[in-house]
Copies of this chain bind each other. A is one copy, B any other.
Amino acid sequence: MLSNSSKYAINAVLYVAVNSSIENKILAKDISRETQIPQAYLSKLMQELTRHNLISSVRGPNGGFYLTDENRGVSLLQIVNVIDGDNRLTSCMLGLHACDHQHPCAVHHLVGDTKTRFVENLEKTTVQDLVSDIKSGKSFLGI
């Protein structure tokens, strides 16, 4: 479904979203420890997310990662697209280029609407939405 890297990225961003603020930034080392994501690899992913302005960071003492209000409005799809590339989720299930609604592949109809709905969910769900869920106890943050 998602690559390992995307899973890591979402977990890490959520961890930052819940546990940090501009005054209270969080280090790659700490994210790594709490999420079990290998530190060096995590750093790469965070770098990439920062470069695309999906999260924020500052270097040096008291630096680290944090989210601005704008960052909190980022959707899960944006995160996935930056890490996995734009068409991992939307490409044809059988890998056929010619496949679309007019000209559906053999499995298109049995995937079509559920996949579309799933991608739509990823698109409309923001980091902040998930933080609210977590804070209200609706879901938990992985360890």
Contacts and interface: CB of A to CB of B under 8 A. Distances in A.
Interface of A: 1-2, 4, 7-8, 10-11, 14, 76, 89, 93-96, 98-99, 103-111, 114-115, 117-118, 121-122, 125, 130, 133-134, 138-143
A133 B107 CA distance: 9
Number of chain copies forming the complex? 2
Contact of A107 (B8, B10, B107, B115): B10
Contacts of A109: 133, 138-139
A141 B110 CA distance: 15
8 contacts: A1-B115, A8-B95, A11-B94, A98-B142, A98-B143, A103-B140, A109-B139, A114-B121
A126 to B, nearest CB: 11
A143 to B, nearest CB: 8
A106 B2 contact: no
A11 B117 CA distance: 24
A60 B140 CA distance: 57
Nearest to A99: B142
Given A115-B118, A121-B111, A140 B93 contact: no
Which 7 pairs, one residue from A and one from B, show the smallest C-beta to C-beta distance? A96-B142, A110-B121, A7-B95, A106-B130, A114-B118, A114-B114, A106-B139
